[in-house]
Amino acid sequence: MSIEQLADTALAMVAPGKGIIAIDESNATIAKRFEAVGIPNSEENRRAYRELLLTTPNLNEHISGAILFDETIRQSTKAGVPFTKVMMDNGIIPGIKVDKGTHPLAGCPGELITEGLDGLRERLKEYAALGARFAKWRAVITINVDDGLPTSTCIEANAHALARYAALCQECGLVPMVEPEVLMDGTHDIDECYSVTEATLRALFSALHLFDVDLTGTILKASMVVSGKDCAEQASVEEVAEATLTCLKSTVPAILPGIVFLSGGQNDHDATAHLNAMNQYETPWPLSFSYGRAMQSAALKIWSQDLVGNLAKAQETVYARARENGLAALGEWES
């Protein structure tokens, strides 16, 4: 795929009023979410749940793409139609999570590095053949002021991995979605989150330049600048919007096609409210969403009560959340 085609795909991913649904949970993660609502973690239940999400009527009105897991991109509907075909037939772009998760970063106690670069070129080629048009890699940055975290070593190591991944994606014809998540966990205030997010994004775009990644065919999946979950003083919606936008404008090149936000553990309402507030301002790039839990949690609870009888009701909830966030991506959501 040429860089022009990559750029076209990237722009389609952030089309006005549309965002990306993240259904890329590993089997271990989906097991925890199923367990919380009493659903057995069988392959068939995982397949049925992903089918529920991907076949939600009119989902493409507000969803441009979906990030899948390795198991999911190989699965089909109960009628035998591959999920990727269902998506493409409905104008939803297939994506794939390609990292192998986080592991302790040697020499940096309390910090994490994302692994999965070994063999990545071959895996990307396979995923492209299966129908994927973009990929995602998540890095994790932990804030712990008392322990002096994050270290510059952790930030630089994760930025380097993200850039190597992104370069491989473009070589294999996939749009790289780069996700440097600054975790909400902790007692830090919004100012500390701002400082860490700014340093992380500066390191990321420096590394992307080093590896000659074409930004016109790249999407940033960003965390918002928020107070730590355990901070005594929680920033307001307006403060989050202003801090996040100031941070992005000081670090992210205007040539980037768009930015999608992760929910990062925010509740459904806050994730939508923050996105809507940011879209009240002029920005160099479209600001949209790539939510997982904030898109699915309500529907999962409904579906868990009756896996057959509540299917349509659960899908109505998925559509409603997609619509709310689609409106927020336009700055037109009203709570």
In 3D, which of 137, 201, 202 has the Cα closest to residue 175? 137
d(CA 56, CA 156): 40
In degrees rounded to 5, what are phi and psi of residue 331?
A: 75, 25
Angle, to 10 degrees, between the axis of helix 152-171 and the axis of helix 190-210?
Answer: 40
Q: 226 near 235, Cβ under 8 Å?
A: yes
Catalytic residue selected from 18, 97, 136, 221: 221
Q: 214 near 163, Cβ under 8 Å?
A: no
* DSSP H or E run through 320: helix 311-328
Is 229 annotated in the active site?
no
Is 221 annotated in the active site?
yes
Catalytic residue selected from 51, 111, 179, 192: 179
Helices and strands of the chain, counted as H and E runs: 12, 10
Q: 315 near 299, Cβ under 8 Å?
A: yes
d(CA 256, CA 133): 18
Residue with tokens 């959340």: 321
Residue with tokens 């990644």: 213
What's the first-to-final CA gap in the chain, in angstroms?
41
The catalytic residue positions are 179, 221
